[in-house]
Amino acid sequence: MSKFVTYVIRLPEDQEATREIVNGVRTLVEKNGGEVTGASNEDEMTILEMIEQHEDFREYIADEARAKAKELGAKAAH
């Protein structure tokens, strides 16, 4: 069975730098016999970041969500 790994990369604002990163990752993966099987700019992390940056977003909501996620992680570890 193949192994998979997921990376989340915060891309720079500069479009040329972004292209270099994306092309570099693809080249490295393919050169070594791997395959990029998926990519998304509409992933949950991107959406959440945009929500958190909205002017109407209240910081306490993020604080509560992080605390709850920490609790879930602790429960899953036991």
**Could you tell me if 21 and 28 are in contact, meaning their C-beta atoms sit under 8 angstroms apart?**
no
For position 49, what pLDDT does the model report?
Answer: 85
**Could you tell me if 36 and 25 are in contact, meaning their C-beta atoms sit under 8 angstroms apart?**
yes
- Verify that 51 and 69 share a domain, yes or no: yes
- Verify that 14 and 32 share a domain, yes or no: yes
Q: Output the pTM of the full model.
A: 0.53
For position 77, what pLDDT does the model report?
Answer: 81
Domain that holds residue 50: 40-78
For position 51, what pLDDT does the model report?
Answer: 92
For position 6, what pLDDT does the model report?
Answer: 84
- Verify that 28 and 48 share a domain, yes or no: no
- Verify that 6 and 22 share a domain, yes or no: yes
Total number of domains constituting the chain: 2
- Verify that 50 and 35 share a domain, yes or no: no
For position 56, what pLDDT does the model report?
Answer: 96
- Verify that 20 and 49 share a domain, yes or no: no
- Verify that 52 and 72 share a domain, yes or no: yes
List, run by run, the mean pLDDT of 10-residue segments along the chain (78 residues).
81 94 94 88 82 94 92 83
Tell whether the torsion through CA atoms of 54, 14, 39 and 77 is positive or negative: negative
